[in-house]
Structures are given as C-alpha cells and as structure tokens.
Structure 1
Amino acid sequence: MEPTDLDSQSAPQDIVMDLAMQAQTFAEGLLRPWNAYQVAIALALLLVAHVAARILAPRLHDWLRGREGWPKWRMRAMVIVHRRLRVLIFVALIWPVIWIMGELTWPSRSYLLDIIGQLALAWLVIAVLSRLIQNRFLRQIIRVGVWIWVTLSVLNLTDRARALLDSAAMNIGETRFSLWLILQGAVLLTLLIVGARFLSQSSAGSIRRNDDISPSMQVLLIKLLQVLLYGAAFIIGLRTVGVDLTGLAVLSGAIGVGLGFGLQKVVSNLVSGVIILLDKSIKPGDVISLDETFGWISSLGARYVSVVTRDGKEFLIPNEDLITGQVVNWSHSNEFVRLDIYFGTAYGDDPHEVRRIAVEAARGVDRVLSFKSPVCHIVGFGDSSVDYILRFWIRDPTGGLTNIRGNVYLALWDAFQANGISIPFPQREVRMLDGAGD
C-alpha cells in the first residue's frame, strides 16, 4: 500500500518525538544513585588521565627527540601516541574498571561505564585511522561523522536515525534522493577516493623508481592511472548507492558541449599536455628556451609546464605555447651543446697565432669538452679588427650558458695579455683646420 502524504509528513515527527522521549528517559536515569556513581567514576578517571598526560607528555616528547635513527613510520606512530596520550590513558584505565565492576556487581551497575568506554575507544580508533586522510578539513568531517554514527550504534539508535534521514527525500525523475542516500554516497565516495589516492601514490612511486621508463612516459602513466582510479571510484560509488547513471551520461554530454565552447583554452592545454607526453619532445630535467625564458623543466602538469630559470624564478608556461611556439630544447636528443663566441684582434697580430691561442685557452676552461676540440675561424675584416668566431662544446647546459661563455672570454683575455695580442676598439681622429673657427 502506498504511503499517503499525511503519513510521509507525520513519520519524521514521530521519530523525533520518540528520540526526544528516549533522551528524556536517559537524562532522568542519570539521577539514580548508581548511574551518578558511574558518571563520577568516569570523570575521576578522566581527571587522572589528564594529570598523567600532563606529566608524561613532556618526557615522551624529549625521548622522541633523541630517536633520530628511527624509521619514519615508527616516528609517525609515536607522534600520534603523543598527541592522543590523554585519550589513550583514559581508555587504558576505564576498561579494567569496567571489567572489575562487571565481575563484582550487577551489569546494570556498570552499563554507563561500558557505553563511555566504547565511545572513548571508538574515538581513539577513529582519530588514529583518520590520520591517513591528508586533507585537514575532510579529515575533521569524516572523524566527527563516523564518531556520531558509532555513538548512535552504541546507543541502538541507528534504525531511527536512518529512518529520519530517509524520510527527508525528493524525487528527480525516477531516482529518489534522500538525506540517507546522500550521506551514504558521500561516505562511500570519500572512502573510495581515499583508497584511489593511496593506490595512486603507491603506484606512482613504483613507476618513478623504474629506470626503464622515460620521465615523460612516467608522467603520462601516472596521469592516466590517476584518471582511471578516481573515475572508477566516482562511478562505483554512485552505482553502489543506486544512482542511475543514464541521465547523468546525457547531462554530462550536454555540459561537455557547453564547456567545449567556454573552456577552449583549458581543453587545448590539456590535449597539448597529452601530446607532449606522447611525443616525448620535452621531459622533466630538459633545458629549454622559449622567447626570453631559459631554464630547465621542473615538472609537467596537466595544464602547464613548470620551468625554473637560473635566477630561481619559476615560469608556468601553458602546454599550448610549447606546441605552437618555437621551443629550443638544449638536451632533447643528446646532452651535447655547442656554443659560439665572437671577438676581434688588431690587424698587426698574426691570425694563425691568434687562432692557436684561442683554441688552447678554450680547452683550459672547465666544462669545455676536450674530445670535441674547440675551433676558431676568421669571419671577416672589420673597420678596426680582424673578427673571429670561437666554437666549443659542453655537455651540461643545466649548469648555465652565460657563465661558461664568461669563463671562456676571461681565458681569452688572459691568454691574449700573456702573448701580447691586443684587442682593438674603434678610434676616431679629429683634426682642427686653420680658419675653421671663423
């Protein structure tokens, strides 16, 4: 038989009234002598735990500071113990008291302590396990929500709470959305996303440690793995709680068309990022120059590439610019880079001797490769000097280009000074003619 509108409106009120009556009965029961004794015992144990924690916490902190050689997981576990020391001591005290009172008195004389002990133990376990969630805001929400549900379970109120949440509902098409369904979906999605994140991080670490996979393919595999894991977690979570994904598919198609027009640049950068990872044109660690930007690639993102320059600036270059622009990759196919510098000497100096001295000076500079011998050529006869080009090779462009050019110029200066070779500069001669001032 279908429920009437009146029944659907009165059901939540009946549940609330029932919960209110139970809460009133529970509060009145606290006034009974044995219940009051149990509350007093719990408060006394809490006070003892507080005092003990205040005494032991500084000593435990000082002891942990001396454990420098411990593994990271053991140190993190002890830090959690230090932060939850008060609750840990309270749980360690209350359960022996519950057991002793259960053996010496009737069960009704210790049932409140049993409830308090279960709630304290549940809070301790939830607080420890929730540390696996890195997002602080999400961790607090899950911690409070799970503890509330555990409290309802201990008090045998889960059925009434579920009925109350399920009564607040609305229908969208053929799907009925209630607060209970939304809560289930949120909890399940959170657990699945946390699991997907854990698997993603573990797999990413294994992929990065594999030297047989190139850096660009490592980034691509990690991104694909993240998309698959998070997408599977989202779909499985919705299907598990009974959400029909047929309408969602149609809606996502319509939204996709709208986003395609409004977010063309974003989509272009995403596609360009995939192309960069597939063709391996750039990868983390490469030295590139684009327009006035010169630096090495720190990371490849879904929307941009992070390039760190020699002065510590980090440029976030959109992926589309790297696809459409002219990029110089100094370490794409190999790590060898040839550099050119220009200089001039006086016409009175022997050009054969100048070339020999320039090559020897370049060979003596650190980072200049000796097996790829430097060469020097005459490139022209200028107004004041004979012009030369000196070419040499390096294999570490990440060490900088300007500094190595400067070192070679200094080596040339010292070599020319030692061998009496002059570097001319333009000179102008001004003659004053007789009668020019009239």
Structure 2
Amino acid sequence: MEPETGVDEVAGTAAQEAEAAAAEMARQAEEAPEVIAQAATDLGDRLLADAERVAQGVMQPWNAWQLVIVLGVFVLAHLGRAWLGPKLHDWMRHRTGWPRWRMRYAVTLHRRLRGVLFVLLLWIALAVVRQIDPGGGAGVLRIVANLATGWLIVALVARMIVNPILRGIVRYGAWSWITLRILDLTEETSRLLDSLSIQTGDLRISVLLVLKAALVLGVAFFLARLLARTSAHRIESNAEISPSMQVLAVKLSQLLFYGIAVFVGLRAVGVDLTGLAVLSGAIGVGLGFGLQKVVSNLVSGLIILLDKSIKPGDVISLGETFGWISTLGARYASVVTRDGKEYLIPNEDLITTQVVNWTHSDNSVRIDIAFGASYGDDPHLVRRVAVAAAAGCGRVLEKPAPVCHITAFGDSSVDYTLRFWIDDATAGLTNIRGDVFLALWDAFKAEGISIPFPQREVRVLDGSALQVAQRTAE
C-alpha cells in the first residue's frame, strides 16, 4: 500500500501547485487594469506638470527670445541649404573615382544638409549665448540642440539600413527613446509600456520588451549586415581563393554574423534562451519527417562547395539542359542557357546524377564536326582546306591547332572528322559549329571540292513483273 500512498501524495502536490498557479494568474489578471491605469495616470500627471512648466517658462521674456533664436537658426539653415546644396551636388558629380560606400554617405549628408546646418548653427548659438550671459541660462536652446543632434544622428545611421521596414523600426524607435530621454520621461513611459503585458506561465511579454527587442535586433542586424557585406567584398576580391570557396566563405560568414546578432540581441533584452533547446528538438522532429529534401539539398550544396566539382561560371550539361552556372545557392544552382532561360536545379540532382562539366579543370573545349567529300577529290587537299577553314574562325584556338582525319569510306563519300578547340564555351557551341560549317562551305566551293549526297541506282531485272508489265504496255 505504500507505493499507492506516494502516488496520491505526488498527485495532491501537483494539484495544489496548479491551483496556486491559477490563482496567481487570476490575481495578476485582476490587478493588470489597475496597474495600467496607475502607470497611465502617472505619465499623464508628469506630462501635465511638464506642460505647465513649459507654458510658464515660455511666458518669461528670456525663454521667448530663445525660441526666436531657434526660429532664426532654422531660417539660416534653410537659406544655407539653398545656397550650398547645388554647389555640393556639382562637386559630388565630379568624384568619379570614389568607392560606392563613400558616395552613398555623401549623398546621405547632402540630403540631410539642412539638418546638419541647423545642428551646427544651434550649438554655435548656444555657445554665443553662454558667453554673453553665463548666468542667464539657456535651457530652451540646450534642449532643442540635444533633440536636433540626436534626431540627426539617428537619421544618418538609419539611412544606411537597406531594408525599409527595419530602417523605419530603428529610426522611429531611436527618435522616441532619445526624445523621452532628453525630456526625462523614460521612467514613467517605461512603467506604462511594461504594464501592458501578457503572461503565460513563467513567460511574460510586455510592450516595452517587444519595443526594446525590435530596436536592439534592428541595430544588431544592421551591424551584422555591414560586417557581412564588408567580409564578402574582401573575400570576393581575393584572387587566391577559388570561386567555390569564396561562395562557401561568404555564406558561412553571413550565417555567423546573423547568428551572433540574434543571440546578442535576444540576450540584451533579457530573453531566456534555454527554451531554444525544446525548439531545436521540435525542429529535429520536423527535419526527420517533412524536410528530408530540404536538408539533402543544403548538405549537397555544402559538399559541392567543398569538393569544388561545380563552381560559378562553369559550363555544364545535365540531361537536356546546357548552360553555365550563374549562382550557387543554399538549396539550388542557377543555370542560364543560351536562350536566356534560367533553370533552378536542386543541389541534390547535381550530386546524384551524371553532370558534364565542360570547364571543370580547364576552360578549353574540343568540338568535333563530321562531313563528307567526294571520292573524286584529293583527300590530302580536303584535309588541308578543312584545317585552314577552321583556323580562320575567330573563336577557334591556334593551340591546340585544328586537325582533320579520315574516319571511313562511306557508301557515297569519304567521311572526315574536323576537330578544333575553343576556350569560351559560355559563348555557345552551336554558333561556333555553324561558323565552321559555313567556312567549310565557302572553302570547298573555292577549291572545287564537292560534298556528295547519297545516290541510289535502281535496276529492273529481266523477267520481273515490272518488266513484263512494261512490255505489255508497249
């Protein structure tokens, strides 16, 4: 009976813990509206108090003069933008040797020229006012200068983010935080946003946590993208690294930087990452059931990059598809054909099926052309004329030189094979065959060499039904 008693005690303890958790959640649900209302009330009272203080301050003559100074500085910045903007634009147009990133920064500064002039003039005005009246105070100018400087820095940094959604999140989130920070409203606003939350067990998600995560992850992804693009540029510009290893190194660097950005961003906002173990287990089950092909293509792509069997720029044949590798992706390879079609071939097919890589170890490709000449033509002359005709085509290589061999004595002609080499298979094979055939036609015509066609002689035997019928008709 002791084991049954132990089971009953465990069940009773679990039931009590469940009841306590349910009661705690119910209590928090009842208190949530009160907490939100109290936080909103505190923020409203603070805003009203600040508004009254600002209104009373504006009524003072010196503060009103500071607002006039701010307005005058804005007018000067606008006029300075109208005068300096065209001159700066003309100067930038003549900077043809600049790298792309430097020109992009220059364009961003040109677009924000009025803001830059406004901030510079504000700080100059603030320094002049403090020199004229050190004890008079310049609170309004200081607040406006700090706000304008913060907004300008955020605008310049956010402009470098390519993704428009991510750029908007970083820009407006940073603007809001800077404004609240300068106005000393961060504590009340944080309390209000933190009160707007939902809780499931030990997990509590608030609006404040979501906003912090979006802002931190946005900055982290921007830095990761910047580092990934910089490293990719350095890797691709290194001639000592093969194209396939360049692709592999770029993809691994991107995976590393973005993985670090996610990890650091989530840890910075206080997200517990121990739950990722459960998520990884679920992902493993999903891979085992429904994602075999996806994983197979990913692994096949990694193998292709490591063994260098196929690399960007190679000319391959896979079944009826003939073209050159444009890009090697994580899941597929892009093959562009001569007619402009782009085939997305899964990486697994490139591993498991037979692939003809025309430029695997060498760009040179040999092409054979079969033709026939009449038995009445000198075969030595035919061979010399054929080799000279092929050598006269622009894409045919001089070394190895074209050669021509007799392959058979056919029914109606002497059969030949003309062999020549090219090193630009990406330019096409059919067109060079056509050029060589046309050169053969012109050369044979000039030398009087004939290209025979099959001929058949029909003989009617004596006593056959056809002969009897013919004699009867006569």
Specify if TM > 0.5.
yes
Q: Is the 8 A contact 2:396 2:421 kept in 1?
A: yes
- Following superposition, the deviation at residue 381 of structure 1 comes to 4.2
Q: Is the 8 A contact 1:338 1:394 kept in 2?
A: yes
1:270–1:47 Cα change, 3 Å: same
d(CA) in 2 for partners of 1:255 and 1:274?
20
Q: TM-score, normalised by structure 2?
A: 0.82
Which residue in 1 is equivalent to 2:39?
15
- Following superposition, the deviation at residue 214 of structure 1 comes to 1.7
Which residue in 1 is equivalent to 2:177?
149
Which residue in 2 is equivalent to 1:397?
425
Which residue in 1 is equivalent to 2:228?
200
Q: Is the 8 A contact 2:169 2:215 kept in 1?
A: no
d(CA) in 2 for partners of 1:327 and 1:186?
46
Q: Is the 8 A contact 2:404 2:416 kept in 1?
A: yes
Q: 2:49 aligns with which of 20, 25, 35?
A: 25
Q: 1:98 aligns with which of 126, 147, 153?
A: 126
Q: Is the 8 A contact 2:194 2:206 kept in 1?
A: yes
1:316 alignment partner, SS class:
strand
1:77–1:373 Cα change, 3 Å: closer
Which residue in 1 is equivalent to 2:358?
330
Q: Is the 8 A contact 1:189 1:234 kept in 2?
A: yes
- Following superposition, the deviation at residue 208 of structure 1 comes to 2.0
2:389 matched to 1:361? yes
Deviations 1:28-80 (A, max 9, x none): 43364234444344334323322332343233323332343455555334322
Query: After the TM superposition, which of the residue ranges 307-316 and 294-303 deviates more from structure 2?
Result: 307-316
Q: Is the 8 A contact 1:49 1:89 kept in 2?
A: yes
Which residue in 2 is equivalent to 1:65?
93
d(CA) in 2 for partners of 1:204 and 1:267?
25
- Following superposition, the deviation at residue 382 of structure 1 comes to 4.1
2:266 matched to 1:238? yes
Q: 1:300 aligns with which of 315, 328, 342?
A: 328
Query: After the TM superposition, which of the residue ranges 337-346 and 227-236 deviates more from structure 2?
Result: 227-236
Query: After the TM superposition, which of the residue ranges 27-36 and 89-98 deviates more from structure 2?
Result: 27-36
Aligned runs of 1:1-400 on 2, under 5 Å? 5=28, 8-28=32-52, 29-30=54-55, 32-34=58-60, 35-70=63-98, 72-104=100-132, 110-400=138-428
1:170 partner amino acid: I
Q: TM-score, normalised by structure 1?
A: 0.88
Superposition RMSD on alpha carbons, in Å?
Answer: 3.1
Q: Is the 8 A contact 1:175 1:243 kept in 2?
A: no
Bigger Rg, structure 1 or 2: 2
2:159 alignment partner, SS class:
helix
1:343 alignment partner, SS class:
strand
d(CA) in 2 for partners of 1:334 and 1:162?
65
d(CA) in 2 for partners of 1:214 and 1:21?
66
Which residue in 2 is equivalent to 1:423?
451
1:30 alignment partner, SS class:
helix
2:48 partner amino acid: Q
- Following superposition, the deviation at residue 369 of structure 1 comes to 3.5
Q: Taking every aligned residue pair, what percent have the same amino acid on both sides?
A: 58
